[in-house]
Chain A
Amino acid sequence: MSIETWGQIRANPKFQKFVQKRNRYSIVMSILVIIAYFGFILLVAFNKPFLAQKLVPGGVTSLGIPIGVGVILFTIILTWIYVRRANTEFDSEAAAILEESTK
């Protein structure tokens, strides 16, 4: 594929919009993970008793355990949400733009 094709694609205003939209989505998703993770780490650093408190009075399981496992599950679920959207919606949109631009 040549430089010419890239130029044609770029000239399509839809392409610019599409890239912007997808990048914004990627960045929002990244920020969500960063907030979840560094939020957890900062709790570990600054508020250990919060994580160590018991889930139910008289029980043993601490609040930190569902939060920690929750961060793991959140990470996995967020990844799949992104991949699903990128592999269906974004990919077909990109394919349409490519076809339109290189016609």
Chain B
Amino acid sequence: MNPTITSLIAVAAIILIGVFGTAFGAGPDLGQTTQQTTNWVAISMFAGFVIITLGITKWAAARTRSVADFYTAGGGITGFQNGLAIAGDYMSAASFLGISGLVFANGFDGLIFSIGWLVGWPVITFLMAERLRNLGKFTFADVASYRFSQTPLRSFAATGTLVVVAFYMIAQMVGAGQLIKVLFGLEYIYAVVLVGVIMMMYVLFGGMTATTWVQIIKAVLLLGGATFMAVMVLLQFGFNPEALFAKAVEVKTGMAIATGKTAAEAATAGASIMGPGGLINDPISAISVGMALMFGTAGLPHILMRFFTVPTAKEARKSVAWATTWIGYFYILTFIIGFGAIVNLIPNPTQYFVAGDLAKGLNGGGNMAAVHLANAVGGNVFLGFISAVAFATILAVVAGLTLSGASAVSHDLYASVWRHGNVDSDTELRVSKITTVILGIVAVLLGILFEKQNVAFMVMLAFTVAASANFPVLFMSVLWKNCTTRGAVAGGIVGLVMSVSLTVVSPAVWEATLGNPKGSALFQYSTPAVFSITAAFFVIWLVSILDRSPQAKKERALYPDQMTRSETGVGASQASSH
């Protein structure tokens, strides 16, 4: 295996050089969004990250022999490590750049979103983490199908996983392409292929061990970089937040005057960043978004999978506690970073705004606030560092997504549904590696296909599906004794279909993406989560109650054993050792 890896690393190196070389030759003249001059500092830092992580992959490859190693790193990750890795999986570029960009534009509204992204974690801790660890092995379908008919339940769970992975993946790939155009001055397509190739190498050779370490390294770099930025911003104001906010309001007011508002309008616009604005207007949308974020977190397959990498329920709990801590800390940082961007970038339009015009927005778009701030507080080298970290972030998240997609296909669909469990570890491992390659190619193709699309709704859609399809099935199968296969599958399908179809006819897709006239969307709320989650739970309950089949009787009779195992961990799948 080792010679293969060495040669593949060599191939990747050649691809890397080729890509950079071509881009350098082509020059910064392409693309409909601003493509900037090739940033060699950022590129060398990113290359450093890739070389180190590929080195780790090589080390991990020697330890990835069985299918358990591939999916769960042999169950040998500690709670603290896993907590960082979960945080790494969760702190995507969308949350780093997106939330700081949102704070930069709207102030307080950014905080509302980041809180939503955090509050799913305690719920996972209190209700799910240790039960997942005690019942599961490789995928969340192991947990949900514990006492149920394998074929229908696993087919459903694999579908739910792949749908969530696909939407999340599109958002990441398109984000990667757009980011790299601005950050590194490379072409979109190179960025997408680069992400696909490197990610595939992590997963293919290093499996969960390599993916976990990539997440950990990335989480540490991201937390370190964000801390540095927040400290530099606070330092400008003698660590007095009131002074920072006052300056931000003053700057925003000045900006409103400069863009042609009257003094009174400008004062209102300036003060508006300190309170909730137009982001959430109707209560139904507010609750719906809240539910999607809160319960979606507990249904994301790449997050759920991380609970099988720790040896015990104790470590599983510790890992969520650490993850919650890091993620919460990170969101407080992004809030400071967003305000730091307001006070540092707006007074300097010639350097950071398109054509030096405040009305035309930031160079590279609103999501670049954190990146430009890096330049403002740390110069070109720190800008390179943050750019490299942002790109590494996408890489790491995509690797985690691919691994969970591959496990759904090989473990749930191939090994359990198609081969009824009669498959040896080597074959399953081979199937998951083939799937990884296919998913990598699909990810690149999706990235290319959606290049020109507005994909802002994709992450929310992934959360909505996870909250409406995966979470209710998981929750009810583990905690409700009368739940049956039919109920779980029927409810899950209702949640899945409703969340996708209502999102398609909501303003974010129907108007913003498909270009229909404003106000023509059939479904007027930001996300259908409140309806689709409720419907999924209701259908699970109704169909289970009405299910009088002998199979249902058998499934209900198995509940006490399942409950005993989920509460005590007795009989739980153990970490494989070698």
User: When the two chains form their complex, are residues B280 and A33 in contact, meaning their CB atoms are under 8 A apart?
Assistant: no
User: When the two chains form their complex, are residues A73 and B328 in contact, meaning their CB atoms are under 8 A apart?
Assistant: yes
User: When the two chains form their complex, are residues A52 and B115 in contact, meaning their CB atoms are under 8 A apart?
Assistant: no
Query: Across the interface, which residues of A come within 8 angstroms of B249, CB to CB?
Result: 60
Q: A37-B294, A83-B318 are in contact. Are A26 and B274 (CB under 8 A)?
A: no
Q: B565 at interface (Cβ–Cβ under 8 A)? A: yes
Q: A38-B287, A42-B283, A44-B276 are in contact. Are A26 and B126 (CB under 8 A)?
A: yes
A19 → B minimal CB distance (Å): 5
Q: Mark A5-46, 1 if CB is under 8 A from B, else 0.
A: 110011000010001001000110110011011101110111
User: When the two chains form their complex, are residues A29 and B126 in contact, meaning their CB atoms are under 8 A apart?
Assistant: yes
Q: A61-B241, A61-B245 are in contact. Are A37 and B561 (CB under 8 A)?
A: no
Q: B355 at interface (Cβ–Cβ under 8 A)? A: no
Contact of B122 among A29, A51, A52, A62 (CB under 8 A): A29
User: When the two chains form their complex, are residues A51 and B317 in contact, meaning their CB atoms are under 8 A apart?
Assistant: no
Closest to A22 in B: B567
Q: A46-B283, A79-B321 are in contact. Are A30 and B564 (CB under 8 A)?
A: no
The A/B interface has a contact count, at CB < 8 Å, of 161
A99 → B minimal CB distance (Å): 11
Query: Across the interface, which residues of B come within 8 angstroms of A44, CB to CB?
Result: 112, 276, 280, 286
Contact of B328 among A37, A45, A49, A75 (CB under 8 A): A75
Q: B290 at interface (Cβ–Cβ under 8 A)? A: yes
B126 → A minimal CB distance (Å): 4
Query: Across the interface, which residues of B come within 8 angstroms of A62, CB to CB?
Result: 108, 274-275
B246 → A minimal CB distance (Å): 4
| Interface of B (DSSP majority class) | helix
Closest to A53 in B: B275
Question: A1 vs B127: C-alpha distance in the bound complex, in angstroms?
Answer: 24
User: When the two chains form their complex, are residues A83 and B317 in contact, meaning their CB atoms are under 8 A apart?
Assistant: yes
| Interface of A (DSSP majority class) | helix
B509 → A minimal CB distance (Å): 23
Q: A52-B274, A60-B249, A64-B274 are in contact. Are A82 and B324 (CB under 8 A)?
A: no
Q: B560 at interface (Cβ–Cβ under 8 A)? A: yes
**Which positions 77-91 of chain A face chain B at CB distance < 8 Å?**
78-80, 82-83, 86-87, 91
Interface size grouping (class) on chain B: 35 or more
Query: Across the interface, which residues of A come within 8 angstroms of B289, CB to CB?
Result: 41
Query: Across the interface, which residues of B come within 8 angstroms of A33, CB to CB?
Result: 119, 122-123, 126
Query: Across the interface, which residues of B come within 8 angstroms of A82, CB to CB?
Result: 122, 125-126, 317, 321
Q: Mark A47-72, 1 if CB is under 8 A from B, else 0.
A: 01101110000011110110011011
Query: Across the interface, which residues of A come within 8 angstroms of B1, CB to CB?
Result: none
Closest to A80 in B: B321
Question: A52 vs B183: C-alpha distance in the bound complex, in angstroms?
Answer: 36
User: When the two chains form their complex, are residues B242 and A60 in contact, meaning their CB atoms are under 8 A apart?
Assistant: yes
**Which positions 330-376 of chain B face chain A at CB distance < 8 Å?**
331-332, 335
Q: A37-B290, A51-B275 are in contact. Are A83 and B118 (CB under 8 A)?
A: no
User: When the two chains form their complex, are residues B318 and A87 in contact, meaning their CB atoms are under 8 A apart?
Assistant: yes
Q: Mark B484-516, 1 if CB is under 8 A from A, else 0.
A: 000000000000000000000000000000000
Query: Across the interface, which residues of B come within 8 angstroms of A87, CB to CB?
Result: 314, 317-318
Residue among A22, A49, A52, A53 facing the most chain B CB atoms (10 A cut-off) = A52
Closest to B280 in A: A44
Q: A29-B122, A87-B314, A87-B317 are in contact. Are A52 and B332 (CB under 8 A)?
A: no
B274 → A minimal CB distance (Å): 4
User: When the two chains form their complex, are residues A51 and B276 in contact, meaning their CB atoms are under 8 A apart?
Assistant: yes
User: When the two chains form their complex, are residues B118 and A72 in contact, meaning their CB atoms are under 8 A apart?
Assistant: yes
User: When the two chains form their complex, are residues B245 and A37 in contact, meaning their CB atoms are under 8 A apart?
Assistant: no
User: When the two chains form their complex, are residues B561 and A64 in contact, meaning their CB atoms are under 8 A apart?
Assistant: no
User: When the two chains form their complex, are residues B127 and A83 in contact, meaning their CB atoms are under 8 A apart?
Assistant: no
B282 → A minimal CB distance (Å): 7
Q: B570 at interface (Cβ–Cβ under 8 A)? A: yes
User: When the two chains form their complex, are residues A38 and B290 in contact, meaning their CB atoms are under 8 A apart?
Assistant: yes
Question: A76 vs B567: C-alpha distance in the bound complex, in angstroms?
Answer: 24
Q: A40-B115, A72-B331, A98-B568 are in contact. Are A65 and B274 (CB under 8 A)?
A: yes
User: When the two chains form their complex, are residues B317 and A9 in contact, meaning their CB atoms are under 8 A apart?
Assistant: no
User: When the two chains form their complex, are residues B122 and A1 in contact, meaning their CB atoms are under 8 A apart?
Assistant: no
**Which positions 100-122 of chain B face chain A at CB distance < 8 Å?**
108, 111-112, 114-116, 118-119, 121-122
Q: A26-B127, A64-B108, A83-B321 are in contact. Are A42 and B122 (CB under 8 A)?
A: no
User: When the two chains form their complex, are residues A60 and B246 in contact, meaning their CB atoms are under 8 A apart?
Assistant: yes
Query: Across the interface, which residues of B come within 8 angstroms of A42, CB to CB?
Result: 283, 286-287
Question: A22 vs B479: C-alpha distance in the bound complex, in angstroms?
Answer: 14
Q: Mark B173-196, 1 if CB is under 8 A from A, else 0.
A: 000000000000000000000000
Residue among A45, A64, A79 facing the most chain B CB atoms (10 A cut-off) = A79
User: When the two chains form their complex, are residues B125 and A83 in contact, meaning their CB atoms are under 8 A apart?
Assistant: yes
User: When the two chains form their complex, are residues B564 and A6 in contact, meaning their CB atoms are under 8 A apart?
Assistant: yes
User: When the two chains form their complex, are residues A30 and B245 in contact, meaning their CB atoms are under 8 A apart?
Assistant: no
Question: A12 vs B287: C-alpha distance in the bound complex, in angstroms?
Answer: 42
Question: A29 vs B317: C-alpha distance in the bound complex, in angstroms?
Answer: 14
Question: A6 vs B115: C-alpha distance in the bound complex, in angstroms?
Answer: 40
Query: Across the interface, which residues of A come within 8 angstroms of B321, CB to CB?
Result: 79-80, 82-83
B324 → A minimal CB distance (Å): 5
User: When the two chains form their complex, are residues A37 and B115 in contact, meaning their CB atoms are under 8 A apart?
Assistant: yes
User: When the two chains form their complex, are residues B570 and A9 in contact, meaning their CB atoms are under 8 A apart?
Assistant: yes
Question: A19 vs B275: C-alpha distance in the bound complex, in angstroms?
Answer: 44
Q: Mark B228-257, 1 if CB is under 8 A from A, else 0.
A: 000000000000011001100100000000
Query: Across the interface, which residues of A come within 8 angstroms of B122, CB to CB?
Result: 29-30, 33, 75, 78-79, 82
Question: A42 vs B565: C-alpha distance in the bound complex, in angstroms?
Answer: 38
**Which positions 536-578 of chain B face chain A at CB distance < 8 Å?**
560-561, 563-565, 567-568, 570-571
Chain B interface (Cβ within 8 Å of chain A)?
108, 111-112, 114-116, 118-119, 121-123, 125-127, 130, 241-242, 245-246, 249, 271, 274-276, 280-283, 286-287, 289-290, 294, 313-314, 317-318, 320-321, 324-325, 328-329, 331-332, 335, 560-561, 563-565, 567-568, 570-571
- Among all A-B residue pairs, the 10 with the closest Cβ atoms: A52-B275, A1-B571, A45-B286, A45-B283, A6-B564, A83-B321, A62-B274, A26-B126, A60-B246, A68-B111
8 A-B residue pairs with Cβ-Cβ distance under 8 Å, sorted by A, are A6-B571, A9-B564, A19-B563, A45-B286, A45-B287, A72-B328, A75-B324, A79-B324
